[in-house]
Amino acid sequence: MRALLRTFGELSITGGLVMLLFCAYLLWGTSAYTQRQQALLQSQLHEEQDARKIDKIRLGRAVALLRIPRLGRDYHYAVVEGVDEEHLKQGPGHYPGTALPGQVGNFVVSGHRTTYGAPFNRIDELERDDEIVVEAREARYTYRVTSQQVVEPTDVDVVAPVPGKPDISAIRPMITLSTCHPEYSAAQRLIVYGVLKETELRKV
């Protein structure tokens, strides 16, 4: 019996260490991968900075640079085109088919809340009138936060041109940020909405 208890104890300790290492990988190992991918995406944006406005961006390519002042001066992420698992591992992803930055309609961006750099970990802290800055190739777009809500994963109306109102045509540029809710769960989605406040064209 004593030998059995000793074996059980040793296995429990080993299992605990394995779980600890796995959690460490999820929090720090995945972040290291995202940092490498972000460096590549931001390099793309820098190289294409002088390019004229692009109407369509290929999957996996950089769309724009996202800044959220409330989340700190160092907060900046390159947004990748696509929201599949492979894309969201690289950083926030633009939902294909929704508006591009500055366009009339809904510029929808999804991002991880806990792993792979957790770019949207703190978007629940955003308040009405906070700024969301999107630096695209042709201009710098500043959106103003209007509201946030928690929805079910099946509520796809949040990506409509007018969020929540799929039967209405958009008349102004909007932005929607989406992430999992609550933290460490995918049971629901946390959504932050905003409208375009200012456009600053890049100098040629």
Show the domains of the chain with their CATH numbers.
Answer: 2-201 (2.40.260.10)
Candidates 72, 68, 90, 71; CA nearest to 81 is 90
Predicted model pTM:
0.84
Instruction: Check 67, 87, 94, 112 and give the catalytic one.
Output: 112
**Is 46 annotated as catalytic?**
no
Q: What is the pLDDT, as a whole number, of residue 15?
A: 43
Q: What is the pLDDT, as a whole number, of residue 30?
A: 85
**Is 181 annotated as catalytic?**
no
Q: What is the pLDDT, as a whole number, of residue 102?
A: 97
Tens of pLDDT along the chain (204 residues) come to 665 555 555 545 554 444 544 454 455 568 999 999 999 999 999 887 766 666 789 999 999 999 999 999 999 999 999 999 999 999 999 999 999 999 999 999 999 999 999 999 999 999 999 999 999 999 999 999 999 999 999 999 999 999 999 999 999 999 999 999 999 898 999 999 999 999 999 876
Q: What is the pLDDT, as a whole number, of residue 202?
A: 85
186 contacts: CB under 8 Å, gap ≥ 6:
153, 180
**Is 94 annotated as catalytic?**
no
Number of residues in the chain: 204
Instruction: Check 113, 137, 181, 189 and give the catalytic one.
Output: 189
Instruction: Check 87, 113, 140, 180 and give the catalytic one.
Output: 180
Answer yes or no: are the C-beta atoms of 102 and 169 closer than 8 Å: no
Q: What is the pLDDT, as a whole number, of residue 51?
A: 61
Q: What is the pLDDT, as a whole number, of residue 204?
A: 63
